[in-house]
Amino acid sequence: MLSSVEKILVRGRNYYLKRDDLIDPLLSGNKYRKLYALIQAPAEQYERIISYGGTQSNAMLSIAALCQQKGWRFDYTSKTVAAHLKKRPTGNLKVALELGMQLHEVEPVQYAEAIEALKATQGSSTLLLNQGGADPLARAGIEQLAHEIRVWQADQSIESPLHVVTPSGTGTTAYYLACALPDVWVWTTAVVGDSAYLLSQMGALGPLVANLKLLESPKKYHFAQPYAEFLAMYRELLEAGLEVDLIYGAQMWQALLEHRALLDGAVLYLHSGGLIGNETMLDRYVHKGLF
Ligand SMILES: *Cc1c(COP(=O)(O)O)cnc(C)c1O
């Protein structure tokens, strides 16, 4: 088992927590799982990893940590970074740069073209990873996670139906988990974009499966923005003994608690970490006067 399971009490109900956040200090929970095949790969297999996306991305930080361990070069393309951030990087960007990540900024209007051009740079020693690690390569590590959940459920005699809850960015984690656990309900919520966008992202990985369910909050949220209710959720969970990240975890718990009555049976929350980003997020709550 790569991670243990704990139990917490929230609003009078028990929840199990799969502590993937404790697997590695930098490879954030599900990123460890998604990168598992590469973590297992011999260092000689690649010289360089290429990826792209946001500059506070948890996937970016995790790939940077992986490449540093393997001695691989890591080239990362993003849209232009604000001047003050470049002078004094914070959060995930700071750590990723310290780990040796090579950042390549392109103007927003040229971004799509630049990403398209990256595909041509792939070769036997250079691997291009899709944004957020949304890659078929992620399947093996998520299957390992599914196996651990199955073994835990049997060992603890947890009755079916079991509900596993995990927030979605690309949806890679929720999708491969639902595929690997056909007898388990996998619940998620769209944190990047809306549910339709999430379903299309999942659909690119393979046909949708019936045990994968989306929860929606009545209010629409913009990705990685501060909201008073997320901060309130974060604090309530902290009181209960669980620190989640303010981007994915807080929104997932909000949707989960709103729809709690739908989930009849044991609930296992997959804790994927991302806590390094809380520092910069809390700064933004302070700036917005919400903290
Ligand atoms: C990346 C991440 C997610 C989203 O994972 P996907 O597989 O892209 O859906 C959820 N929670 C945390 C903490 C993450 O870092």
Domain limits, the chain:
5-26+137-287, 36-133
β-strand 126-128 against 102-106: which pairing, if any? Answer: unpaired
146: which 2 tokens?
Answer: 């599914």
> Which CATH number is correct for 5-26+137-287, 3.30.10.20, 1.10.1740.10, 3.40.50.1100, 3.10.20.740?
3.40.50.1100
pLDDT band at 174 (very low <50, low <70, confident <90, very high): very high
Q: How far apart are CA 121 and CA 76, in angstroms?
A: 13
> 273 CB less than 6 Å from ligand 1?
yes
28 contacts: CB under 8 Å, gap ≥ 6: 21, 58, 61, 62, 272, 273, 274, 276
Verify cis geometry, omega within 30 degrees of 0, for the bond prior to 226: no
Phi, psi of 16 (to 5 degrees): -90, 145
* Nearest C-alpha neighbor of 162 from the set 178, 142, 139: 178
Q: How far is the CA of 247 from the centre of ligand 1 (A)?
A: 9
Choose which residue among 143, 173, 212 to substitute to test ligand 1 binding: the one with the highest number of ligand atoms within 8 A of its C-beta. Answer: 173
Q: Report the C-alpha gap between 254 and 262 in whole angstroms.
A: 14
Cβ(172) – ligand 1 distance below 6 Å = yes
What's the pTM? 0.96
What pLDDT sits at residue 28?
A: 82
State residue 287's pLDDT score. 92
How far lies 31's CA from each of 81, 119, 173, in Å? 23, 22, 9
Same CATH fold assignment for domains 5-26+137-287 and 36-133: yes
Among protein residues, the one with the nearest Cα to ligand 1's atom 12 is 272
Number of helices (H) and strands (E) in the chain: give both, helices first.
12, 10
Residue located via tokens 């704990």: 6
E strands, the chain, are 5-10, 13-18, 48-52, 73-79, 102-106, 126-128, 162-165, 185-188, 212-214, 266-270
* Tens of pLDDT, residues 13-45: 999 999 999 999 999 899 999 999 999 999 999
Residues 43-102: tens digit of each pLDDT:
999 999 999 999 999 999 999 999 999 999 999 999 999 998 889 999 999 999 999 999
Hey, what long-range contacts does 217-223 have (CB within 8 A, 24 or more apart)? 217/189, 217/251, 217/254, 217/255, 217/258, 220/194, 221/191, 221/251, 223/191, 223/192, 223/193, 223/247
What pLDDT does 291 receive? 83
Instruction: Determine which residue's CA is closest to atom 2 belonging to ligand 1.
Output: 169
What residues contact residue 81 under an 8 Å CB cut-off, 6+ apart? 55, 93, 103, 105
Q: Is 167 near ligand 1, meaning CB less than 6 Å away? A: yes
In this model, does residue 245 exceed pLDDT 90?
yes
pLDDT score recorded for residue 97: 97
The mean predicted confidence, pLDDT, of the chain is: 96
Q: Three-state SS for 200?
A: helix
CATH C-level class of 36-133: alpha beta
Query: Which pLDDT band, with edges at 50, 70 and 90, does 114 fall under?
Result: very high
pLDDT score of 240 more than 90: yes
Check: CB of residue 215 under 8 Å from CB of residue 255: yes
Question: And the tokens for 278?
Answer: 């809380």
Does position 230 have pLDDT exceeding 90, yes or no? yes
pLDDT digits (tens, 9 = 90+) for 177-213: 999 999 999 999 999 999 999 999 999 999 999 999 9
pLDDT at residue number 85: 87
Q: Please give the radius of gyration of the chain, using alpha carbons only, rounded to the nearest integer.
A: 19
pLDDT tens-digit map of 144-161: 999 999 999 999 999 999
